Amino acid sequence: MDPPRSLFPALPPAGHALLRLVDSCRAPTHLRALRAAHARLLFLLRLPSHPASAAVRVKLIQAYAACAALPAARAVLDSSPDRSTIFFNVLLRGLTAASLHRDALLLFASMQAQGPACFPDHYTYPLALKSCAATNGLILGLQIHSSTARLGLDGNLFVAHSAISMYARCGRPDDAYQMFEEMQYRDVVSWNAMISGFAHAGLFGRAMAVYRELVALQCPRPDAGTMASILPSMENARIEDITFVREVFDDIQFKGLITWNAMLAIYANNEMHVEAVELFMRMQKDGIEPDAVTLATVLPSCGEVSALSLGKRIHETIKSKRMCSSMLLENALMDMYASCGCLKEAREVFDSMGVRDVVSWTSIISAYGRHGLGREAIDLFEKMLGQGQEPDSIAFVAIIAACSHAGLLDVGKRYFYSMTSGYHIPPTVEHYTCMVDLLGRAGCISEAYDFIMMMPIKPNERVWGALLGACRIHSNMDIGFLAADNLLRLAPKQTGYYVLLSNIYARAGRWADVSTVRSVMESKGIKKLPGVSNAELGDRVHTFHIGDTSHPQSKMIYEKLGELLQRIREIGYNPEVEATLHDVEEEDREGHLSVHSEKLAIAFVLINTKPGTPIRITLNLRTCGDCHHAAKLISTVTNREIILKDVNRIHYIVQGVCSCGDYW
């Protein structure tokens, strides 16, 4: 939308130099230079009398919009006596880029009153339709689309793409699809608009169907925009859809950064963290330079699989590229270190932050809580309040959970009730779940049950699941059965709740009932989620399953494991056979215990690292009591720190002592 060079007649050399300076001003930090260039142009060219006045003013509007100085851009437009459609289009683009959509629509509405020279054209209408979509302005969007039809512009690709997006985002996806179907020519942007439209309307199945249709046609071919368009549809996606999208990704010949970022986000959003880490490593090998979005996407995955070496390299990249002023990245770094069991490093990132928001405070409070350091989490929460930072709903989830992990019953209760009385934050189901967990872990099972009965909102499966977990810890069968009854009605196919129920029966010696639970699971086709442990070594995350023999070093791993078990038996280890009862299909309990994935991963790290190297293992389930006990003894006989991260906690074990204080 730049004015053609022919509109700059007889500009002196100094004028051309000033226009080049104006063109280079593209960030708020350039605003001072832009204002100076503007002043010199006014003096040099005697605007508005100079023949190039109109073209110069268009460039000034563009530059002020790029520098986020939109009032200055509007002032240039208003002061132009010879304004035309291009003046309005340039400012409209700046307003929509800044998400000032209502201002954009007001500017659009004022155009026709300026006379025929300022009538909207095929550049104007797509911008106006985009603002209608962003403001849910269906009525105005219908009027604008009707105007394009009367002017014969509805067949213009840019107008059609914007209309499709407008209809989809304003709750009319069928109208969007009808437009799409009626288009005589569709380019890849047309398909992307329709995929994105369905995705934003929540019609993820239809978005995926259009995506598959595009791939099947082969022309046009999917591009970076397609990857970005399909992204909203990939939350909690089916594994077959993710596999299909990855195949398309691999077939894209020239993959830009947007394409890589979209594929990384799909893996990260679907908890496929090993795949996200491996894809990022491939991205590095292919020489693709990551940006802040890339790093913020992959850092949580590094934390989830304890890929500390990669996380540290990313931290070095952030420092070398001077990205440390990004609070998003600093918060992600803090979470990564905390998730890898590096609480000291997480605290260093937190302490070095120039500016902290409530997310920063919540992240570090949560980190201490997950490590079982409830008192330290409380100190941080109080320090946050002392510095004038208002806690939000998620901050209260973090502090109540920290109290639950550390057994700080009275303090946790106080925070829960102060949330409503002191900060007027209504409790959500997450807060109620934390309170049930707090009461239940402390052995107050009846109080936890009464608390659920008095909740003003209907308890979901997470609330009942917290109660059932507490009943397993404290062997409370009566309330455990009540919790299980509610759970199996709310989540009849959730494997973990059947497992917890079978544990309660087993602890009571009711083996017939254990068999009944197993039969019910088999009849419903419900299979126990297998335990999976991850360990980072070099540039790869190694994955182990229970009884795994697929690893190339399997023979050495089992030999090392046998040696470890013998050594810890000599200092008092006896397998906690009861810990195997969560696997209702296993008969050989002691043999089953010895090949849990955590133990295999620990043995693997021991044979591949130098003495004294910390062992970091990530588990997808709650670690069993036997593995926890064995890990403490292994840390003693090997003189290694063991960081065992399960789905709930981070167990930092040093010389046989765990940070959880055996309260988990």
CATH number at residue 502: 1.25.40
415-474 pLDDT tens trace? 999 999 999 999 999 999 999 999 999 999 999 999 999 999 999 999 999 999 999 888
| Cβ contact 602:642 at 8 Å | yes
- Identify the pLDDT of residue 588: 46
Q: Is the dihedral of CA 227, 231, 123, 10 positive or negative?
A: negative
Same domain, 564 and 600: yes
> Which class for 10: exposed (0-12), middle (13-18), buried (19 or more C-beta within 10 A)?
exposed
Write the Ramachandran bin of 641: left for phi over 0, alpha for psi from -120 to 50, otherwise beta. beta
First to last CA, the chain: 63
Residues 509 and 543 in one domain: no
- Taking CA atoms, 117 is separated from 87, 90, 111, in Å, by 10, 15, 9
Which of the listed residues 482, 504, 523 is the one where a domain comes to its end?
523
* Residue 511 Cα distances to 283, 504, 507, 564, 575, angstroms: 52, 10, 9, 32, 20
Q: 283, 314 in Cβ contact below 8 A?
A: no
* Distance set, CA 477 to CA 69, 198, 483, 583 (Å): 67, 48, 10, 19
Contacts by residues 537-542 (CB-CB < 8 Å, ≥ 24 positions apart)? 537/604, 537/605, 537/608, 537/609, 538/309, 539/281, 539/309, 539/310, 540/278, 541/274, 541/277, 541/278, 541/305, 541/307, 542/601, 542/604
Q: Is the domain of 541 the same as that of 609?
A: yes
Residue 357 lies in a domain: no
Q: Are residues 560 and 586 in the same domain?
A: yes
Identify whether residues 499 and 557 lie together within a single domain. no
Q: Does residue 187 contact residue 196 with C-beta atoms inside 8 Å?
A: no
- 611 inside domain: yes
**CA-atom Rg of the chain in angstroms:** 31
Backbone angles phi, psi at 617, to 5 degrees: -125, 135
- Tell me if 491 is assigned to some domain: yes
Say yes or no: 478 and 565 in one domain.
no
Q: Does the residue 623 lie in any domain?
A: yes
Structure tokens at 416: 């829960």
651 and 598 Cβ atoms separated by less than 8 Å: no
Tens digit of each residue's pLDDT (9 = 90 or more) over 478-520: 898 899 889 888 888 788 788 888 878 877 777 788 888 888 8
Determine how β-strand 650-654 pairs with β-strand 642-645.
antiparallel
* Number of domains comprising the chain: 2
Residue-level pLDDT at 170: 93
C-beta of residue 230 within 8 angstroms of C-beta of residue 263: no
Q: For residues 519 and 538, state if they share a domain.
A: no
Do residues 534 and 543 lie in contact, with contact meaning Cβ atoms separated by under 8 Å? Answer: yes
Inter-residue contact 37 to 22 (CB < 8 Å): yes
Scored b (16 or more CB within 10 A) or e, 343-371 reads bebbbebbeebeebeebbbbbbbbbbbbb
Say if 388 falls within a structural domain. no
> Is the peptide bond prior to 220 cis by the omega test (within 30 degrees of 0)?
yes
Kindly tell me the sign of the dihedral angle through the C-alpha atoms of 437, 442, 443, 449.
negative
Q: Which of 465, 493, 523 is the last residue of a domain?
A: 523
Task: Give me the phi and psi of 658, to 5 degrees please.
Answer: -105, 145
Phi, psi of 152 (to 5 degrees): 75, 20
Domain-embedded: residue 566 = yes
Q: Look at 150-154, 301-305, 489-493 and tell me which has the smallest mean pLDDT.
A: 489-493
Range of the domain at 591: 534-658
How many C-alpha atoms does 9 have within 13 Å on its Cβ side? 4
Does a structural domain hold residue 137? Answer: no
**What's the confidence (pLDDT) of residue 112?**
78
> Of 463, 492, 523, which residue sits at a domain end?
523
Name the pLDDT band for 574 (thresholds 50, 70, 90). Answer: confident
CA nearest to 58, candidates 30, 92, 107, 96:
92
Flag whether pLDDT at 9 surpasses 90.
Answer: no
Nearest to 548 by CA among 557, 538, 539: 557
pTM score above 0.85: no
- Say whether both 603 and 518 belong to one domain: no
Which of the pair, 577 or 477, is modelled with greater confidence?
477
Taking the CA atoms of 227, 241, 237 and 616 in sequence, report the sign of the dihedral they define.
negative
Q: Is residue 479 part of a domain?
A: yes
* pLDDT tens by residue, 331-370: 999 999 999 989 999 999 999 998 899 999 999 999 999 9
